[in-house]
Chain A
Amino acid sequence: MYQTEYKRAGSLDEAAQLVAASGGEGKYVSGGMTLIPTMKQRLASPSLLVDLRHVEGHKGIAVSGQTVTIKGGTTHAEIAASEELKGVAPGFAGLAQLIGDPAVRHMGTIGGSVANFDPAADYPAALLAMEATILTDKREVAASDFFLGLFETALDENEIVTGVRFEAPESSAYEKFRNPASRYAMCGVFVAKRGEGKVGVGVTGAGASGAFRWAEAESALSGRFDVSALDGLAVDEGEMISDLHGSSAYRANLVKVVAKRAAKKAGASGGPEVSGPKTPGGDAP
C-alpha cells in the first residue's frame, strides 16, 4: 500500500469538506472492503482517506409502511439480520446475507457498495429491480439514473451516498451463482414483484457494463408471473462479461437460468420444484 493519510469524520459535512480540500486525491472509506484490498494491491492510491464509519446518524434501517430507508453506513450484516426489514422485504435481507463472507458483512456497508458499483456487487441488482432511490448528501437519484456503467455512477466528485430508499415489493428474491474462485456473483438476479403486476428484474455480475435491468424479462413476468414466461427470452451475449471463469455465452445462459430460479423463489408459478439431494455445501443454483 502506498502512503496515505487517514482522517475520521464526525459528520457528513466534515467528511465532504475534508475530501473537497484534498485536491481530488481523497476518498471516503466506509467498511473499506473493496477500497482497502485495492489499495493493498497498489491499484488505488488516495492521498487521503476519510472514514465515514464514525459519522453520527449514518447508520440505521427505517421501515414506514412499505417504505424502507437504509442509511449508507449500515453494514451488510445489519441489513441481513434486521427483523424489521425481513418483515417487509425478506428478499433484500436475504441478498445481504449472500454478500461476501461473515467478516466482510460485518464491515462492508451498503453506502460503500452502492458508491463503488463493482460489476459483481449484489445490491445494484435489487435496487434497479425495485426502482429504488439512491440518497446522497446533495440529492436523490433514481437507481436507473445512478448506476451508469462499470464502476461509474452519477455521483459528483465528493458526493456521499447517504442511503437508499425503496418501496418494499409484494414479494422478491435474489439468486446468486458464484464465481468459483472469488465467490463474487458470476450472475446474480433479483426479482421483485411490485404493485399493480409490475415485476422488476435486476441482474449483476454478468453484464459487461455492470448491473442492469432485464427489460424483456420484466415485461414477460409482469404479464404472467410464471417461470415459463422467461422461456423464449435471451439476453444479448455481446453485452455479457467474458473472462476465464465464463464466456459471454455461458453468462447469457446463466442470466436466464438464475432469473428463473429467482422468480420461482419470489413466488412465481411453474418451474421445477427447488429441492436438492441431502448434500453438504453446494451453492445452488
Chain B
Amino acid sequence: MGVEGIGASVLRKEDRRFITGRGRYVDDMTVPGMKYAAFVRSPHAHARIKGIDAAAAKAMPGVIDVLEGSQLKADGIGNLICGWAVNSKDGSPMKMGAWPALAFETVRHVGQAVAVVVADTKAQARDAAEAVEIDYEVLPAVVEGPAALQDGAPQLHPEAPGNLVFDWEIGDAKATEEAFGRAAHVTKLDIVNNRLVPNPMEPRAALGVYDPAEEHYTVWTTSQNPHVARLVMSAFYNVAPEHKLRVIAPDVGGGFGSKIYIYPEEIVCLWASRKTGVPVKWTSDRTEAFLTDAHGRDHTTHVEAAFDADNKIIGMKVDTVANLGAYMSLFSSATPTYLYATLLSGQYDIPAIYANVKAVYTNTVPVDAYRGAGRPEATYVVERTMETAARELGVSPAELRRKNFIRSFPHQTPVIMCYDAGDFEASLDAGMKAADVSGFEGRRAEAQSRGKLRGLGMSCYIEACGIAPSKAVGSLGAGVGLWESAEVRVNPVGTIEILTGSHSHGQGHETTFAQLVSERFGLPVDNVQVIHGDTDKVQFGMGTYGSRSGAVGMSAIVKALDKVEAKAKKIAAHLLEAAEGDIVIENGEVKVAGTDRKLGWHEVALNAYTGHKLPDGMEPGLKEGAFYDPQNFTFPAGCYICEVEVDPDTGKTEIVQFVAADDFGRVINPLIVHGQVHGGLAQGIGQALLEGTRYDESGQLITASYMDYAMPRAWDLPMFTVSTTETLSPSNPLGMKGCGEAGAIGSPPAVINAITDAIGNNDLTMPATPEKVWRAIHAA
C-alpha cells in the first residue's frame, strides 16, 4: 500500500470545510427572489378533510400564496409510490393506498401535509400557516401493528381491507414443521423491535427553483440519491420532465436511510415554485422531522427455534407483524421482507426456516429503511434467541454459537441468501479476547461488592450489503436496478476527477474514493477531486444506502480506472516505443518495466488531450466511464460483546465495555471504517437503551422532540474497542463488504443480552429504560 493508498488512514479531505464552517448544506443556499414555505399539517391521526379556508391566511403580511392538494391533483402531480413490489403468499399484489403530496380528502397521520404557505419570510409563512382553517371530521385511529389487524380496527385505506398491505412468506414451512417435530428443545420468544426516528442532525430541506424562460426546474434537496429523486419525481410524480430537472444534493448532514425517500415537501417546493413564480425554500424543524421523516423498525415478532439433543439448531419459525405506518414509503415493502427474513439464518447452519410477515397500515408516520433496515430486526431475533437458548440449555452462549456456525462457503441458506465468504469463529475469538471474557466472572463479583449487577452479552451478526445484483432484486420485485456508475476524468494536467453516483453524507467518500486513484497511479489524494450529488454533473447513480458505496460504488470506479489505465498504457507505449505489456504505472510515473524510460503521468495526460502523438485511430482524451452491477450481495459479519453494570436501586444501565470485532472484507481507510462502526454502535445502543417512539391512543406522537425522544449523548456511551478481521468478498474486485450499518445491526441484542444476564430476567423490551429494568429486577 502507498501512504495514501488502500489500507491507509488518510485524514479526510472534506474536513477542512466542515471544521471551518464552510460546509454548504441545503438550508445554507439562497437564490435571488427566494421565498419560504411553511406546511399546514394535520393535528389529527385520522380525519376527513371537510373544507379548507385559506382566505385569512392569504391576506396576511408577506403571503404570496396558499396552495392545496386539490390544486396539486388538478396539475397532474402524481401520488407518492412504493418502488418495490412484494406479493402476498397467495400471489396477490401488495395493497398500496393513495398518498398525495398534499392531502385533500383524508389525513392518516399527525403531521401529514395538507397545504403550503409561501411567504416573504419564514416567520410570516409560519404565522399564515396557523391561520389556514381546516374543517376536519375526526376518525378513530390505530397505532400499533397487531391492533390494526384485529377485527373492528379503524380502517385506513379502501385499497387495503383489514389494513393488510401484504401477507408474505419465505422458507419451507413443511420442512420447518418436521424439524420442530423432532426437536429436543424449543426456545420461544416474543420480541418487539422498537420504532425509531433516524434523526440525522441536519433536518430535511428543499429549495425548488422554476425558470419559466427555460421551463427548467432545479431542486437542492437533502438526498442520499439525487438521481433516484430525479427519476421518481419526473417519471412518477410528473413534477418536471427528467431532462428539465436538475437535482442537487450538496453537503448533506447525515441520512441513515431517512434521506433516501422522495418526500412530499420537495415535490411541493418545486411545484409551488412553478405556481408562484418564485424560488421556494422549506427547511424542516426538528418536530416536523419527527412527524414526517420516515421512521424505522417497528416489528412485533414471535420466534421459535428448534434444537436437537446435541444442541444443534435444526429449525426456526418466525412470525412478524411489520407496522408500515400510514402509507407505503419508497422501499418500505423491501425492508421487512427481503432485507429482513433473508438474514434469519444468522451465522448459523439452520437447515429449515420459515417466516411469515404481515405488513400493516396504522395511523403513524410511514416506516422505511433506517440504518440497517431489516437486518437489525433479523439480528435481534436471531441473537436474542441464541442467547436465550444457551441459558435454557445451560451451555455457554459463545459455545452454542460456535457449535452452530457455518464453516464452509459458499453456503446456501434456506432463505435466499448464499453467503460467499466469512470466518465467524475468527471474529468470535477476536471479540472474546478483546473483551477479556474469561475475566468476566471476577469483574462481576467485584461489581457485586459495590452493589451493582454486572452482565455480559454477545451478538454474532451477519448482514447483506452491496445492494445489489440488479437481476436478483428485479426478480424480487425491485422497481430499479441497483448497480452504480462512475466516471474517471483525467485532466490535461494529470489531475483527476471522479464522478460517482454514490452520495456522501458523512461517509468520507471524497477521501476513500481518492485513495483508489492513489493506489492505482501513485498520485497524491490531493490531486483527486470526487464529484457527486448533482444530476447535471454526474452521469447517473443509485446513491448511497445499505452500505453499498464501497462494494458497488467503488467497484464502478475500479472498472473505470481499469479503462483509464489501459488507455494510458497504450498512449505511453506508443510514445515510449515500447510494448503495451511492458508499461507500468507507479508513483505518478509511467514506465517501461526494467528500463529507465518513463513519462510523468501528467505527460501522458497532456498527450491524450493534445492528440498530436496518439496512436493512429485512437480517440483523444482520457476519460472513462463504467457501470458496475454486483454479482452477489456481500456479507459483513462480526461479533459484538457488551458488558454492563446495572444499578438495582434505579434500574439505570451503564455500558462499561463494548467490543466490536468486524469482518468487512478489504478495508480502504481504517480511520473512517472505525468511525462508521462507532456511529453505528451509538445508534444501536441508543435503540437498546434510550430511543423509541411513543404514540398515545389517539395517534399523537408524544416523543416528537428531544425533550421526550432520548438521543444518545456523550455520557451514555463508553469508549469503544473496535477491530477488524478480514476475509475478502469474492464478489467484487476490491473484496469489500461494507461497514456503514454493522454497528447498528449487531449492537442491540448484545446490550439486551448483557442486561438480562445482569438482572437474571429475560423479559425486557427495548428501549431498556431505567424504569423497565428496575421493574424487571423486582419481577425476577
Stretch at the interface among B76-84, B289-297, B644-652: B644-652
Q: How many residues of A sit at the interface, in one of the four size bands? A: 20 to 34
Closest to A181 in B: B710
B62: Cβ under 8 A from any A Cβ: no
Say yes or no: is A103 at the interface (Cβ < 8 Å to chain B): no
Are B708 and A280 touching (Cβ within 8 A)? no
Smallest CB-CB separation from B645: which chain A residue? Answer: A277
Whether a CB of chain A sits under 8 angstroms from the CB of B770 is: yes
Query: In the complex, what distance in Å separates the CA atom of A283 from the CA atom of B652?
Result: 9
Q: Is the CB of B719 within 8 A of A280?
A: yes
Neighbour of A279 across the interface among B649, B654, B694, CB < 8 A? B654
Cβ of B274 under 8 Å from chain A: no
When the two chains form the complex, which single residue of B650, B655, B706 contacts A181, counting CB atoms closer than 8 Å?
B706
Instruction: Assess whether A272 is in contact with B450, with CB atoms less than 8 Å apart.
Output: yes
Q: Is the CB of B711 within 8 A of A281?
A: no
Contact A285 B652 (CB under 8 A): yes
Bitwise, B108-131 to A at CB < 8 A (1) or not (0) is 000000000000000100010010
Q: Which residues of B contact A65 (CB under 8 A)?
A: none
B718 at the interface (CB under 8 A from A): yes
1/0 per residue, CB under 8 A from B, across A241-279: the answer is: 000111100100110010000000000000011011101
B703 within 8 A of A: yes
Known pairs A275-B450, A276-B450; A281 contacts B702 (CB<8 A): no
A285 to B653, CA, bound (A): 11
Q: Tell me the nearest residue of chain A to B716, going by C-beta.
A: A281
| A257-B718 in contact (CB<8A) | no
Q: Does B690 contact A (CB under 8 A)?
A: yes
With A254-B650, A285-B647 already in contact, the answer to whether A182 and B715 are too (CB < 8 A) is: no
Query: Judging by beta carbons under 8 Å apart, are A182 and B708 in contact?
Result: yes
Asked if B717 CB lies within 8 Å of chain A CBs, one says yes
Are B718 and A244 in contact, with the CB atoms below 8 A? no
- A262 to B450 CA separation, bound complex (whole angstroms): 17
Q: Is B16 located at the chain interface by the 8 A CB criterion?
A: no
Please state if B718 and A281 are interface contacts (CB–CB under 8 Å).
Answer: yes
Which of B647, B655, B706, B771 touches A247 (beta carbons < 8 Å)?
Answer: B771
Contact A246:B771 (CB < 8 A) given known A181-B706, A280-B719: yes
Q: Is B779 an interface residue (CB 8 A)?
A: no
B contact patch SS: loop
- A181 contacts B709, CB within 8 Å? yes
Q: Are B710 and A257 in contact (CB under 8 A)?
A: no
- Flag A160-201 by CB within 8 Å of B: 1 or 0 each: 000000000000000001001111000000000000000000
**A233 at the B interface (CB under 8 A):** no
Q: Check if A1 is an interface residue, CB within 8 A of chain B.
A: yes
Cβ of B276 under 8 Å from chain A:
no
The residues of B that contact A280 with a CB separation of less than 8 Å are 715, 717-719
Query: Which residues of chain B come closer than 8 Å to A232, judged between CB atoms?
Result: none
Residues of B within 8 A of A272 (CB): 450-451
Q: A250-B774, A281-B714, A282-B715 are in contact. Are A244 and B654 (CB under 8 A)?
A: no
With A181-B706, A181-B707, A285-B650 known to touch, is A279 a contact of B715 (CB < 8 Å)?
no
Question: Given A182-B706, A257-B650, A277 and B718 touching (CB < 8 A)?
Answer: no
B22 interfacial contact with A, CB 8 Å: no
Task: Indicate if B674 sits at the interface (CB-CB under 8 A).
Answer: no
- Contact digits for B688-710, partner A, Cβ 8 Å, 1 yes 0 no: 01100010000000110011111
Inter-chain contact total with CB atoms closer than 8 Å: 82
B98 within 8 A of partner (CB): no
Interface residue? B447 (CB, 8 A): yes
Q: How far is the CB of A242 from chain B (nearest CB, A)?
A: 11
Q: Does A2 contact B (CB under 8 A)?
A: yes
Give the distance in Å from the alpha carbon of A223 to the alpha carbon of B524 in the complex.
76
Contact indicator B647/A181 (Cβ below 8 Å): no
A180 / chain B contacts, CB cutoff of 8 Å:
689-690, 710, 716, 769-770
Q: Is B612 an interface residue (CB 8 A)?
A: no
- Cα-based distance from A285 to B770 in the complex (angstroms): 11
Q: Are A279 and B656 in contact (CB under 8 A)?
A: yes
Residues of A within 8 A of B775 (CB): 250
A1 to B769, CA, bound (A): 34
- Cα of A279 to Cα of B652 in the assembled complex, Å: 14
Which chain A positions have C-beta within 8 A of B447? 277
Q: Say which residue of B130, B451, B707, B771 sits within 8 Å of A250 (CB atoms).
A: B771
Residues of the B chain whose Cβ atoms lie less than 8 Å from the Cβ of A2: 127
Min distance, Cβ A252 to any Cβ of chain B, angstroms: 12
Cα distance, A272 to B447, chains bound together (Å): 13
* A251 nearest in chain B by CB position: B771
**Nearest-neighbor residue (CB-CB) of B713 within chain A:** A183
- When distances are taken between beta carbons in the complex, the residues of chain B under 8 Å from A250 are 651, 770-771, 774-775
Q: Digitize A1-24: 1 where CB-to-B-CB distance is under 8 Å, 0 elsewhere.
A: 110000000000000000000000
Chain A residues within an 8 Å CB radius of B690:
180-181
Residues of B within 8 A of A177 (CB): 650, 652
Select one of B650, B656, B709, B774 contacting A277, CB under 8 A: B656
- A183 smallest CB distance to B (angstroms): 7
Q: Does B44 contact A (CB under 8 A)?
A: no
Confirm or deny: B384 has a beta carbon within 8 angstroms of a beta carbon on chain A. Answer: no
Q: Is the CB of B711 within 8 A of A181?
A: yes
Least CB distance from B319 to A in Å reads 28
Given contacts A1-B123, A281-B716, A282-B715, contact A244 B708 (CB under 8 A): yes
Which residues 759-780 of B sit at the A interface, judged by CB distance below 8 A?
A: 769-771, 774-775
| Cross-chain contact of A281 among B649, B654, B706 (Cβ < 8 A) | B654
Do A181 and B708 have beta carbons less than 8 Å apart? yes
- Cβ of B259 under 8 Å from chain A: no
Are A277's CB and B452's CB within 8 A?
Answer: yes
Candidate in B123, B649, B711 with the most chain A CB atoms within 10 angstroms: B649
Q: In the complex, what's the smallest C-beta–C-beta distance from A98 to chain B, in angstroms? A: 12
Write out the residue numbers on chain A whose beta carbons fall within 8 Å of the beta carbon of B716: 180, 281
The reply to whether B649 and A257 contact each other, CB–CB distance below 8 Å, is yes
Contact B450 A244 (CB under 8 A): no
Cβ–Cβ contact A283 & B715, under 8 A: yes
Are the C-beta atoms of A244 and B702 separated by less than 8 Å? yes
Determine the chain B residues whose CB is within 8 A of the CB of A246 once the complex forms.
769-771
Among residues of B, the one whose C-beta sits closest to the C-beta of A183 is B713
CA distance A73 to B718 in the complex (A): 37
Task: Compute how far the CA of A244 lies from the CA of B700 in the bound complex, rounded to whole angstroms.
Answer: 13
CA distance A42 to B38 in the complex (A): 15
Complex: how many Å from CA A2 to CA B130? 11
Chain B residues with Cβ below 8 Å from A245 are 708, 769, 771
B645 touches A279 (CB 8 A): yes
In angstroms, how far is the closest chain B Cβ from the Cβ of A61? 28
Taking the closest CB of chain B, its distance from the CB of A224, in whole angstroms, is: 21
Q: Chain B's nearest CB lies how many Å from the CB of A74? A: 26
Contact with A along B129-145 (1 / 0, CB 8 A): 01000000000000000
Give the contacts of B725-780 with A (CB-CB under 8 A).
769-771, 774-775
Q: Which residue of B lies closest to A101 (CB)?
A: B713
| Cα distance A273–B717 in the bound complex, in angstroms | 24
A183 to B713, CA, bound (A): 10
Task: Scan B248-282; emit 1 where CB is below 8 A from any A CB, else 0.
Answer: 00000000000000000000000000000000000
Name the interface residues of B660-706: CB closer than 8 Å to any CB of A: 689-690, 694, 702-703, 706
Q: Beyond the given A1-B123, A250-B770, A280-B719, please list 17 additional residue pairs across the A-B interface where CB-CB is below 8 A.
A: A180-B690, A180-B710, A180-B716, A180-B769, A182-B707, A244-B703, A254-B650, A272-B450, A275-B450, A276-B450, A277-B645, A279-B645, A279-B654, A279-B656, A280-B718, A281-B718, A284-B647
Pull 30 A–B residue pairs with CB atoms less than 8 Å apart, ordered by A.
A1-B123, A180-B689, A180-B770, A181-B690, A181-B706, A181-B710, A183-B713, A246-B769, A247-B771, A250-B771, A253-B649, A276-B452, A276-B645, A276-B654, A277-B450, A277-B656, A279-B645, A279-B655, A279-B656, A279-B718, A280-B717, A281-B714, A281-B715, A281-B716, A281-B718, A282-B715, A283-B715, A284-B647, A285-B649, A285-B652
Instruction: Give the 5 A-B residue pairs with the shortest CB-CB distance, closest first.
Output: A281-B715, A181-B710, A180-B710, A250-B771, A257-B649
Tell me the B residues contacting A by CB distance below 8 Å.
123, 127, 130, 447, 450-452, 645, 647, 649-652, 654-656, 689-690, 694, 702-703, 706-711, 713-719, 769-771, 774-775
